[in-house]
Amino acid sequence: MLYLSTSAQDIHTAVELLQSGQQVALPTETVYGLAADASNPQAVRGIFEAKGRPADHPLIVHLATAEWMSLWASHVPEIAWRLAEVFWPGPLTLVLPVASTVTPLVTGGQPTVALRVPAHPVMQAVLKQLGKGLAAPSANPFGQISPTTAAHVRRHLQGRIAAVVDGGPCGVGIESTILDLSGERPTILRPGAITADMLKPYLQVVDKPAVDAPRVPGSLASHYAPRTPCFRIAPDFDHQPMPGQQIGVLAMSPPSWPIAHFWQMPAEPEAYAQALYAMLHEADSAGCDALFIVLPPQTPAWLAVLDRVNRATREFS
């Protein structure tokens, strides 16, 4: 795996690798994405192979500008253009009816496609030089902790992909909000930094997907998980859960019972989200017998964080 910087020469190298059908990990404002030319079926297939990702699990296509939506969607409603004007570039993905020219490898065989214009300058530079959309799920083995630094990518995908561009830590730290605009009722299919309250001035959204809603990334019950057994507990949990075991805890304040390792989490939802995956990667490498995450507040501001914590953990009983 080549380790590339953000220099103009290295960005050009990344573009050449993508043009040749290879996979390159690129920084976005959310997490590092495993990018490939979304119009090249063989290149897209390489994403699934590198990640060990199920073939029916759709990918998000990253675009340089909102105008590219018309190349990927068969119909772009007026509200999509309005939301793009307000929230793009940024951590909002829109699900739209797919154009007939899009490979079903990208959509998981569904009649919809997920589109986003990322804000990270490195991803933007690559997209503009390449002149094509990039399919780019998180650059990690399927179901494991998403990467928010180039070091995370190197640790888990070494030997599986062509290169990673080191653009520093990701600023948002969790995956984008996914908003379905393909049906009659706009629906948040995955919570993220763009919240329902932020969308309300422009449309009324449903935050509980219907049974027949499009499949989207990050929707499985178990996802974003460390290799170390990881459990969630309530803030009032007051006893040693596994006596005699090496326990690590991620929480806003240390527990009252003995632990081997403690990672202090921020008290604000945006800062917590930005730190979550990095802390999980560190905790997963600490040699603990088990990890415990003390649940953050159960309020709307914490919805995206709670979603990731719940999927990364099991309830302790």
Q: Which residues are annotated as a binding site for ATP?
A: 53, 112, 138, 146, 190, 224
- b/e per residue 292-314 (b: at least 16 CB within 10 A): bbbbbeeeeebbbbbbbbbbbbe
- Rounded to whole angstroms, how far apart are CA atoms 30 and 138? 9
> CA end-to-end span of the chain, whole Å?
42
Binding residues: 30, 53, 62, 112, 116, 136, 138, 146, 176, 190, 224
φ/ψ bin of 210: left (φ > 0), alpha (ψ from -120 to 50), beta (otherwise): beta
What is the pairing mode between strands 60-62 and 112-116?
Answer: parallel
| Alpha helix positions (H), 20-77 | 41-51, 69-72
Question: Would you state the structure tokens that stand for residue 45, as one six-digit string?
Answer: 């297939």
Q: How many CA atoms lie within 13 A of 252 on its CB side?
A: 13
Which positions make up the binding site for L-threonine? 30, 62, 116, 136, 176
